[in-house]
Chains A and B, each alone.
Chain A
Amino acid sequence: MTAAPILKLDNLTMRFGGLAAVSDLSIEVARDSIVGLIGPNGAGKTTVFNMITGFYRPTQGSVLFDGHEITGMHPHMICRAGISRTFQNIRLFYNESVLENVMVGCHVRRKSKWWSAPLGLPSFREEEKDIRSKSMDLLDSVGLADSAHEKSGSLPYGAQRRLEIARALATEPKFLLLDEPAAGMNPQESQELMAFIRDVQKRFGLTILLIEHDMKVVMGVCEYIWVLDYGVKIAEGGPEAIQSNQKVIVAYLGEEYVKYAES
């Protein structure tokens, strides 16, 4: 791959007691690409995300982001460095409005301190206004501007997914991790999602790494794919190479089924 990867995982290992959820994983993600991480249930994909975003401290190995070591840093520092993510089971701030959810995302880039709020300093008011308009712009770009003042919990499922992405974009990331963005979507919605992901990548100049079970989505948007099984990388390559990889087919369908199908 290219000379300066934006993200480099080096022999990353995560053990929970005797169980190695991820072992010796090495990945290099090229800048400005859309790439995928797939594998059967329990393969350790989300664990990889949790290690990259600082929720787990890897047992071994290191994470390099944009040339800097970020292994074991706190999640909020990793977000500040420019990595943002969405969650497999959507985690919005359900008691807050759609707009407020995105505004929370803007917080990490703000400059004024908390005490300027009760004092009502001009610089604080200015920044508050900026945050509001920036959040509205983001909502506009994901098509949620009309429901800005609704409670986020009242949105339909697909809109909640888009809101979560808008909120992640509000932190001004360089690298975006999407954990099963198409989960629970019908074919029409996942078709739209693919266009949306490509659009976001282009417009914000991001690198996107996604976990996905919907093979149409994965094969449709990803330029490069890594396959995990039982925490071990079993294959990597472009969509076509992955689709015809024997190991991958076995991992998904089971050895016996493949033998049965061949005979």
Chain B
Amino acid sequence: MNTKARNFTLNLLAIACLVGFLHWAHTSFDGYKIQVLNLIAVNAILALSLNLIYGFTGMFSLGHAGFMALGAYTCAILILPSAQKQIMWIIDPLIWPLSVINAPFFIAVLAGGLVAAFFAILIAIPVLRLGGDYLGIATLGFSEIIRVVLTNLNFITNGALGIKGIPSYANLWWNYAWLLLTTIFIVRLINSNFGNVLKAIRDDEIAAKNMGINTFYYRVLSFTIGAFFAGVGGALLGSLITTIDPMMFRFVLTFNILMITVTGGLGSITGSIIGSVVITTLLEWLRIVESPMTIGSFVIPGVPGMRMVIFSLALILIILFRREGIMGMRELSWDMLFSRGKRSRIQDNKEGETR
């Protein structure tokens, strides 16, 4: 088909542009800007994974921080050199198999995702029988349980002291490669008939059951895949900021991801990516309001956390005035760009990597 070949070429071109941009950024940006770019990629992975669970399958899950913690700890323990492990675990030494195991970064991130996915299945089977707000509360509880358990498992996680000096393998290339992988995986799933099935469950679960869909199976499936990529995101984040401790994985982290997903548009892949660019950049840029300011003769001392106040207000405004977020359920796709004059129709095409 003609448009198919065209879209494929354009996708390749977009990826080439991305690679070119990253190469340029890698050599000419300062460390701070590169860090922001890295955070954009990680946040996009996390937002996509939450969008699969909440936006496409309609399960209100607040457990993302928990899955990220599982991924981050798994990956950190696997990539930390053995010698460093012996020094760092002060309260209790790290238990045997973990103290000597080492893995390449890719395998470690994958393992992080798999561990998160494994726990997702365990939690999903009792919890996904709930719906709506109850599911949110239950997954939030699960996330907190993970955090408390991590704080107390000294012989694995080094307790409240956390893990420091994690090798910072997660550079631009790794992060964006994982983002690309995540996007392709989720886009292909969503654009297939399996994606239609997930959306059917979101729209009307009774009708979906009636259509012969084992809704419970597909809910567990979507939840597990989402958790897998949350674990991957957590693993990358751990290696990116080189320090993790249980306090990092509080509810605020889930909230940030939720904010990106909702702002971008629930049920929109491109929305999640755009959302993570906008929100991550704004979150960094708004640090200005936390520094001391002088307006005329007034001196306002810097208030840490001020940007979160502004962000909460922004979220309230979004929910009041544009509930569907930036993209709503629409996608930015090549077809849409090429047929701008026509009425926006539901596209059945893989969207381009716009970032």
**Chains A and B bind each other:** yes
- Decide: B215 and A76 in contact? CB cutoff 8 A: yes
With A104-B213, A167-B211 as contacts: A96 and B193 at CB distance below 8 Å: no
- Decide: A93 and B194 in contact? CB cutoff 8 A: no
- Decide: A93 and B221 in contact? CB cutoff 8 A: no
- Decide: B213 and A76 in contact? CB cutoff 8 A: yes
- Decide: A75 and B209 in contact? CB cutoff 8 A: yes
The answer for the CA separation of A75 and B209 in the assembled complex, in Å, is 6
> Size band of the B side of the interface?
20 to 34
The answer for the CA separation of A101 and B208 in the assembled complex, in Å, is 10
Does B340 belong to the interface (CB within 8 Å)? no
With A104-B213, A114-B221, A118-B188 as contacts: A93 and B193 at CB distance below 8 Å: no
Does A251 belong to the interface (CB within 8 Å)? no
With A110-B193, A118-B189 as contacts: A96 and B210 at CB distance below 8 Å: no
With A94-B203, A118-B188 as contacts: A75 and B210 at CB distance below 8 Å: yes
Of the listed residues B193, B195, B211, the one surrounded by the most CB atoms of chain A closer than 10 A to its CB is B211
- Decide: A91 and B193 in contact? CB cutoff 8 A: no
A87 in complex: contacting residue of B199, B207, B267, CB < 8 Å: B207
The answer for the CA separation of A101 and B207 in the assembled complex, in Å, is 11
Does A225 belong to the interface (CB within 8 Å)? no
The answer for the CA separation of A120 and B194 in the assembled complex, in Å, is 13
B212 in complex: contacting residue of A100, A103, A108, CB < 8 Å: A108
- Decide: B267 and A95 in contact? CB cutoff 8 A: yes
Tell me how many residues of A have a C-beta within 8 Å of chain B: 39
- Decide: A104 and B193 in contact? CB cutoff 8 A: yes
Hey, which chain A residues are within 8 Å of B213, CB to CB?
A: 76, 104, 107-108
A114 in complex: contacting residue of B194, B196, B203, B206, CB < 8 Å: B194
B210 in complex: contacting residue of A84, A101, A103, CB < 8 Å: A84
Does A92 belong to the interface (CB within 8 Å)? yes
Determine the residue in chain B with the shortest Cβ distance to A177.
B210
Determine the residue in chain A with the shortest Cβ distance to B221.
A114
Hey, which chain A residues are within 8 Å of B208, CB to CB?
A: 93, 104
The answer for the CA separation of A131 and B193 in the assembled complex, in Å, is 8
- Decide: A151 and B203 in contact? CB cutoff 8 A: no
B203 in complex: contacting residue of A75, A93, A107, A128, CB < 8 Å: A93
Does A80 belong to the interface (CB within 8 Å)? yes
Hey, which chain A residues are within 8 Å of B193, CB to CB?
A: 103-104, 106-107, 110, 128, 131
Does A36 belong to the interface (CB within 8 Å)? no
The answer for the CA separation of A80 and B188 in the assembled complex, in Å, is 26
Hey, which chain B residues are within 8 Å of A55, CB to CB?
A: 206, 209-210
Hey, which chain A residues are within 8 Å of B134, CB to CB?
A: none
- Interface membership of chain B positions 315-335, coded 1 if the CB is closer than 8 angstroms to chain A and 0 otherwise: 000000000000001000000
- Interface membership of chain A positions 122-141, coded 1 if the CB is closer than 8 angstroms to chain B and 0 otherwise: 00100010010000000000
- Distance in angstroms from B117 CB to nearest chain A CB is 13
- Decide: A85 and B210 in contact? CB cutoff 8 A: yes
Does B30 belong to the interface (CB within 8 Å)? no
- Interface membership of chain B positions 211-225, coded 1 if the CB is closer than 8 angstroms to chain A and 0 otherwise: 111110000010000
The answer for the CA separation of A85 and B212 in the assembled complex, in Å, is 11
Of the listed residues B192, B193, B206, B207, the one surrounded by the most CB atoms of chain A closer than 10 A to its CB is B193
- Distance in angstroms from B238 CB to nearest chain A CB is 25
- Distance in angstroms from B230 CB to nearest chain A CB is 17
Hey, which chain B residues are within 8 Å of A105, CB to CB?
A: 211-212
Determine the residue in chain A with the shortest Cβ distance to B217.
A76
- Decide: B212 and A80 in contact? CB cutoff 8 A: yes
With A117-B194, A124-B192 as contacts: A95 and B211 at CB distance below 8 Å: no
Determine the residue in chain B with the shortest Cβ distance to A171.
B212
Task: Scan residues 181-200 of chain B and give those whose CB is less than 8 A from a CB of chain A.
Answer: 184-186, 188-189, 192-197, 199-200
A104 in complex: contacting residue of B185, B189, B197, B346, CB < 8 Å: B197
The answer for the CA separation of A107 and B193 in the assembled complex, in Å, is 7
- Decide: B199 and A96 in contact? CB cutoff 8 A: yes
Hey, which chain B residues are within 8 Å of A171, CB to CB?
A: 211-212
Does A202 belong to the interface (CB within 8 Å)? no
- Decide: A91 and B204 in contact? CB cutoff 8 A: yes
Hey, which chain B residues are within 8 Å of A35, CB to CB?
A: none
Does A70 belong to the interface (CB within 8 Å)? no
The answer for the CA separation of A106 and B194 in the assembled complex, in Å, is 11
A93 in complex: contacting residue of B200, B214, B215, B329, CB < 8 Å: B200
Does A207 belong to the interface (CB within 8 Å)? no
Determine the residue in chain B with the shortest Cβ distance to A153.
B203
- Interface membership of chain A positions 61-80, coded 1 if the CB is closer than 8 angstroms to chain B and 0 otherwise: 00000000000001110011
- Decide: A104 and B194 in contact? CB cutoff 8 A: no
With A91-B206, A107-B211 as contacts: A117 and B188 at CB distance below 8 Å: yes
The answer for the CA separation of A184 and B133 in the assembled complex, in Å, is 35
Binding site for A on B (CB under 8 A): 184-186, 188-189, 192-197, 199-200, 202-204, 206-215, 221, 267, 329, 345-346
**Could you list 9 A-B pairs, sorted by A, with CB under 8 Å?**
A55-B206, A79-B209, A91-B206, A96-B346, A107-B193, A107-B213, A149-B345, A171-B211, A171-B212
